[in-house]
Chains A and B, each alone.
Chain A
Amino acid sequence: DQQVKQNSPSLSVQEGRISILNCDYTNSMFDYFLWYKKYPAEGPTFLISISSIKDKNEDGRFTVFLNKTATHLSLHIVPSQPGDSAVYFCAASGNTGNQFYFGTGTSLTVIP
């Protein structure tokens, strides 16, 4: 049973606009959340993370929002650039062990 879900397989956005990628989780014990970016034929690379004690974390153009009540997190990319076109995975881990659970990914296309 998928504990981390990304319900949008794909998203297209115009260059310069905001990209919003969404992720839902079902395990309330998760306390650390991450976003990864993946280009074809490469391994995923870490983008940004957030601890459950926070509701927002910002790093340059990337901001992650966490809503623990709704068990939902989102990644905002502003402004979107063509180089942001990739598959984005959200991931979560809990305080028991160090296992990371990933969503199915959202393929973002930024149109020039």
Chain B
Amino acid sequence: AQSVTQPDARVTVSEGASLQLRCKYSYSGTPYLFWYVQYPRQGLQLLLKYYSGDPVVQGVNGFEAEFIKSNSSFHLRKASVHWSDSAVYFCAVSGANYNVLYFGSGTKLTVEP
């Protein structure tokens, strides 16, 4: 079965601190992996995507993620968070045709001053 697990429902960090949001997936074929961010009462914005190649992918606003096939993980990282990064972050997986996108339950990030 296809699924995405984000084990941390809420994460709180101080401004300027580093960040890691965890994501593990289960997918029977070749996974296409995504991280999206959702600000309150808004749609989703794409942060980054991984299809193949270099397992570390760079995204917008200083975010990056690392694909670790042996661990079925795709954790999101940022070296130094800003208060404006406070939002809900979703990890998602699909196959090459993108017909169905499976989302994790989301991680709510709060950045404290």
Report if A and B associate in a common complex.
no
Mark B residues whose CB is within 8 Å of A: none
